[in-house]
Structure 1
Amino acid sequence: MSIIQNALSGSLAAQAALNTASQNIANVMTPGYTRQGVLLAAAKPSQAGGLGAGDGVRVPSLIRFSDDYKTLQLWQAGSELGRREAVQPYLTQLEQVMGDEASSLNAGMDSFFGALNAASVEPTSSPLRRQIVTAADALAQRFNSLDQVLGQQRASINQQRLSSVAQINTLTAGIAALNREVAATRASGLNPSGLIDERDQKIDALAGLVGVQVVEQADGTRSVSLRGGQPLVVGMDAATLSAQGQPDGSQKLTLSFAKESFTLGTSGLGGPLGGLDEFEQKILQPLRESVRDMAGELSSRFNAQLAAGFAADGSAGAPLFSFDATSAGGLLQVDTTLSADDLGFSSNASQPGNSDNLLALIALKQQPVSVGSLGNVLLGDAYTQLVGRLGMDSQQNQAALKTAETVRNQAQESWKSSSGVNSDEEAINLMQYQQMYQANMKVVAVANQLFDSTLAMLG
């Protein structure tokens, strides 16, 4: 009967292989599906003596064609891509706003100082003086509009961060639940491949939000942590991430796990969460502070110079600008009801037509001022340098984004080469295992014929 037992074991092995191939083919278009195969091993002979060829074939387990290194590379590439993608829309918007003539501070500055130059020809002209007040108000509105855009970007980043935190918490809870199912499935002797695929997809989505480190455990669960080592998922337990608003408008990230809480640093998070933080800390906030420094320097220096001069009636020059970075109405304001004759253009109280102080006001454009991220620069050059630096940051991020896209695509192709389903390969497997099954059934038929012949001889 050993010939029949061998053939039956072969047919059962062929059936298992055909079932596996059919599962692969059914999931050829399923995202994240990892192909499977059968592991065949020759059964040792149970009969004594040298004529025992063996007891057929056995299938110890199914093979899951997964390369942990390639999977890790895929997750790391996704994290870097998310980091660059999250930042670029903000950089592009700032480039468009700051380069637009309608909102450019350079254009407003040129118009304002152009009005001052025009008035220097005839300092006593009320229309020319009024034009200065109008140009000053237009310049102030440009400062306020740009500051508002920068403030709106920060608010948008805070909202996007809150959304990312909520998604991270949902994913970590899902990964922990799948860890529990994978461990239970393995313990019961069932195949957990589908659960592992689902868990890997959630880890990939998590890596697309924040940089992670993943460690495989002996029971089949996976522990996930941030790059800094703070735990996100350990076994069947998940951490909770939260973002709290601070008085200065920033947000503080806190990670709670079990009874411990960790305040996360402001760098090295990776993914969109890290990219947004880097953009806010290194580009957006310094830029906003620089714009405010420009407005403050313009206001203080211009008002101080006006106070040193005399109005048309011989009184001290009145201030033109008022600066308050905390004002809801705008950081730079101009009193449009200010009488143009109150501007202190003269350096001599008894000579209304004197323009010496007006010339000193015009010269302020070429005087150095202290501007946040730039240091000491000429007032007239500060905005140009800010736009130039922003352009460089945007170009660098665009180049890094293209690289990240290429790396991610390559990582996906590399993963598919090991874990993806190849329709042609599965078609060949179907034919081979079909032939294997038919051959084993032929062996059963031959064994039956031999058995019948033996009975006929004995009869």
Structure 2
Amino acid sequence: MSSFNLLSIGTQALQANANALSVVGQNIANVNTPGYSMQRADLVSLESPGGVQVRDIQRMANDFLTGQINSDTSAYNSAQAFEQLANQLDNLLASDVSSISKSMDDYFAALQGAVDDPSNLADRELLLAQADALVRRFHDLDASLARQQDTISGQIESSVAQINSLGQGLAQINDRVRLATASGASTNELLDERDRLMESLAGYIGFTTVAEANGEMSVFIGNGEPLVVGSNASRLLTVQDSLDPSQRNIALQVGSSIRDVTGQVSGGQIGGLLEYRTDVLYQTQDEMGRIAMVFASSMNAQQLQGLDLDGNVGQRLFADINASAAATDRVLADSGNARSATSRVDIADAGALRASAYELVFNTDSSFTVTRLSDGVRWNSNQLSSESGAAGVDANQEFYFDAASGSLTLQVDGFRLELDSSERFVKGDKFEIQPTRSGASEFALELSSGRALALADSAGGVSNNRNALAMSDLQFAKLVDGSSYQEQYGRQIERVGSLTATAQISTQSSKAVLDANLQTKSSLTGVNLDEEAARLVQFQQAYQASARLIAASQTIFDSLLAVV
């Protein structure tokens, strides 16, 4: 080997080890930098005449593990968002200061006092006061549920803003990665930053990724909806639900196109919020409304059968559940419907009500489908009994439909729907029916005097207690889905408690899985100062040896010149 080759090898070794030392220095400098992945100099031997060079600076990252951490982060944040709200509701339903069951106990205890002495005006006034307290308890609970919905809407808006910011950041990094890849520059720090942003994004929403050949990473949400493609980022928007203006939905804006993707997205904080809203909050509102409506309906029916203290026929104790305003508020029309329609929902049989909303969609101008949203049970119009006129619709699963005039009367699950359009219904017309959703907020006391309580029956004189006894017996009557009022309320507490416990377990388990994978990632990609110190010595010694190699080649070259 000539002294020239020896000089070349030494020079290459000096440069390669200098680069390796630089990489070690970069690792040590970033030991506490969040998201930094350890780097390694990839040294390769050269062919004849020999030598060494740094082929690449490797980023010690595992793409599969990174994807798994994103998925785990999404699952954990979803479970945590669900659990926090479920805990609040569980405490709300079970606490004595907010419990409907406790207030009902007080109401029936006051009713028992009136049973014992129906002519005592003080006992009558106490019963009326407890009835008013029960009304306020329903209102307070409904208001608390409405505040939860406002909280969910606010958190969705905040999450959407964060997602848009992260999406823009990912698009910008994609562009920089593309340019760096094309020029042959290192992309390690850019890829670290991109992984950090995607991990943050996973905390808000679930997503999938597709790696492009030019180094870019495309991000998709829902059923393949593009959030980031190359250097372009789409925007998420919060929009009013087309059926229920009080509900905030999520839409994706791609160019001038805006699509509602609420039903597609899952995972992350948004996924947990949407799941809780659909599966727990709305169901609880429907259930509380049903209990209030059955209670008011049954108490009113019994009150109307008695005589008050002045010998008059009893009047309603609570507000009519089929009051005009309440009946019309139970139908929501899709804002996309081109036709106006007058509508109302009357409660035909409160005991047959289900705690659910319903969706009615016209498949054609002469056929429709009704779906019970709580369990997905569906009735096509050809599965229902068609009547010859609206007056004939008086039993479950019966309907009358006049396609020419745009008139529909339908009865299912204890409620009667009447729709009258200004013209024919057409395919795609959609309505949401909420028979019990507002039942708790519309629950109201009508009587203002204890004298008006109809505690006596119609043949035994105004001071007897037979109608009061019948009213008292309603406490244990199986009027709500085969249960008493309080039993059904207890079922709801059990359901929410079970969902809360499941959510707590899910949060804990997903957190444990996430922590384990983060620990694995740290061991693979994190900087170990002991290892770096050893490599520092190793490359320092190699650098010094390379310098000596250059000096030796110079000595040999000088000796050769002296001989000549």
For this structure pair, what is the TM-score category when the shorter chain's length is used for normalisation? Answer: over 0.9
8 Å CA contact retained: 1:179, 1:235: yes
**Alignment check: 8 A CA contact 1:42 1:57 kept:** yes
Counterpart in the other structure of 1:51: none
| 1:409 equivalent among 505, 511, 515 | 515
Residues in 1 aligned to 2:263 and 2:472: alpha-carbon distance in whole angstroms: 43
Shift of 1:323: 6.0
Q: How does 1:307-456 map to 2 (within 5 A)?
A: 307-322=304-319, 330-335=441-446, 338-348=448-458, 351-370=461-480, 375-456=481-562
The answer on whether the counterparts of 1:36 and 1:65 sit within 8 Å (CA) in structure 2 is yes
**Residue 137 (1) aligns with residue 243 (2):** no
The 1-side partners of 2:39 and 2:257 are apart by: 40
Post-superposition offset of 1:304: 1.4
Q: Quick check: 1:11 aligned with 2:14?
A: yes
Structure 1: where are the runs of 5+ without partners? 46-53
Distance in 2, Cα, partners of 1:26 & 1:139: 66
Q: One-letter code of the match for 1:239?
A: S
Alignment map for 1:17-28 (pairs within 5 Å): 17-28=20-31
* 1:31 maps to which of 29, 34, 39: 34
The 8 Å contact of residues 100 and 138 in structure 2, kept in 1 or not, is answered as: yes
Q: CA deviation at 1:361?
A: 0.4
Q: Residues 170 and 409 from structure 1, CA distance in 2 versus in 1: closer, same or farther, beyond 3 angstroms?
A: same
Find the counterpart in structure 2 of residue 191 from structure 1.
186
Shift of 1:282: 0.5
How far apart are the structure 2 equivalents of 1:173 and 1:95? 39
Contact 1:75–1:204 under 8 Å retained in 2:
yes
Instruction: Give the 3-state SS of the residue equivalent to 2:444 in structure 1.
Output: strand
Give aligned pairs, total: 445
Q: 1:387 to 1:305 in 2, by over 3 A?
A: same
* Superposed counterparts of 1:32-71, under 5 Å: 32-45=35-48, 54-71=49-66
1:315 counterpart SS class = coil
Q: Report the alpha carbon displacement of residue 99 of structure 1 after superposing the two structures with TM.
A: 1.6
Whole-Å Cα distance in 1 between the matches of residues 222 and 94 of structure 2?
37
- Distance in 2 of aligned mates of 1:94 and 1:22: 53
Residue 299 of structure 1, aligned match among 282, 286, 296 = 296
Contact 1:267 1:278 in 2 (8 A): no
Q: Distance in 1 between matches of 2:479 and 2:198?
A: 50
In the TM superposition, what whole-angstrom CA distance separates every residue of 1:317-374 from its partner, at most 9, and x where no partner exists? 12222267678994322247x121111111125601211111110111112234xxxx
Separation in 2, partners of 1:267, 1:282? 15
CA contact (8 A) 1:66 1:418 kept: yes
Q: How big is the shift at 1:11?
A: 0.8
Identify which range, 94-103 or 290-299, moves more after superposition. Answer: 94-103
Whole-angstrom distance in 2 between the partners of 1:376 and 1:44 = 86
Q: Deviations over 1:41-92 (max 9, x none)?
A: 11222xxxxxxxx231111221111110000011000000110111222111
User: Which structure 2 residues correspond to residues 70-149 of structure 1 after superposition, within 5 A?
Assistant: 70-149=65-144
Aligned to 1:48: none
Find the aligned partners of 2:40 and 2:86 in 1 and give their Cα distance.
Answer: 48
Partner of 2:347: none
Give 1:314 deviation, angstroms: 1.4
* Contact map agreement 2:219 2:229 (CA 8 A) in 1: yes
Bigger mean CA offset, 143-152 vs 347-356: 347-356
Task: Tell me how far 1:186 sits from its aligned partner.
Answer: 1.7
Once residues 250 and 415 of structure 1 are traced to their aligned partners in structure 2, the CA distance between those partners, rounded to angstroms, is: 40
* Mapped partners of 2:227, 2:517: distance in 1: 24
User: For structure 1, which segment, 267-276 or 226-235, has the greater mean C-alpha deviation from structure 2 after superposition?
Assistant: 267-276
Q: Which residue of 1 aligns with 2:349?
A: none
SS at match of 1:252: strand
Q: State whether structure 2 residue 269 is matched by structure 1 residue 241.
A: no
**Structure 1 residue aligned with 2:225:** 230
SS in 2 for 1:319: coil
> Structure 2 CA distance, aligned partners of 1:172 and 1:376?
51
- Take 2:222 and 2:260, find their aligned partners in 1: how far apart are those partners? 14
State the 1:387 CA deviation: 0.8
Q: Which AA in structure 2 matches 1:281?
A: T
Structure 1 segments of 4+ aligned residues over 4 angstroms from their partners: 323-330
CA shift, 1:283, in A, is 0.5
Write the distance in 2 (CA, Å) between the matches of 1:350 and 1:339.
22
Shift of 1:195: 1.2
Match of 1:279, SS state, is helix
**Residues 224-280 of structure 1: per-residue CA shift (max 9 Å, x gap):** 001421111111111111121235222232212245443214255211111111100
Matches of 1:10 and 1:143, distance apart in 2:
81
Aligned partners of 1:81, 1:417: CA distance in 2, in Å? 22
Deviates more, 1:279-288 or 1:87-96: 87-96
What is the CA-CA distance between 1:411 and the residue it aligns to? 1.3
Q: String of CA shifts for 1:19-52, please: whole Å, max 9, x gaps.
A: 001001100111100111111111222xxxxxxx
Which residue number in structure 1 is paired with residue 283 of structure 2?
A: 286
Tell whether the 8 Å contact from 1:82 to 1:271 is kept in structure 2 after alignment. yes
Indicate the residue corresponding to 1:173 in structure 2.
168
Q: Using the alignment, how far apart are the partners of 2:239 and 2:262 within structure 1?
A: 14
Is 1:152 the equivalent of 2:147? Answer: yes
Cα distance between partner residues in 2 of 1:311 and 1:285: 39
Counterpart residue type for residue 7 of structure 2: I
Deviation for aligned residue 1:302: 0.6
**What secondary structure does 1:416 align onto?**
helix
SS in structure 1 of the partner of residue 219 of structure 2: strand
In structure 2, give the amino acid aligned to 1:397: A
Give the distance between the partners of 2:199 and 2:222, measured in 1 at CA.
15
Partner Cα distance (2:320, 2:200) in 1:
46
- CA contact 2:226–2:234 (8 Å) conserved in 1: yes
Structure 1's 288 and 364: CA in aligned 2 closer, same or farther, altered over 3 A? same
Q: Quick check: 1:253 aligned with 2:250?
A: yes
Structure 1 residue corresponding to 2:268, chosen from 266, 271, 284: 271
Structure ranking higher in helix proportion: 1
1:201 aligns with 196
Query: CA contact under 8 A between 2:7 and 2:550: conserved in structure 1?
Result: yes
Shift of 1:139: 0.9
SS of residue matched to 1:322: coil
TM-score by length of 1: 0.93
- RMSD of aligned Cα (Å): 1.8
Aligned partners of 2:542 and 2:161: how far apart in 1? Answer: 52
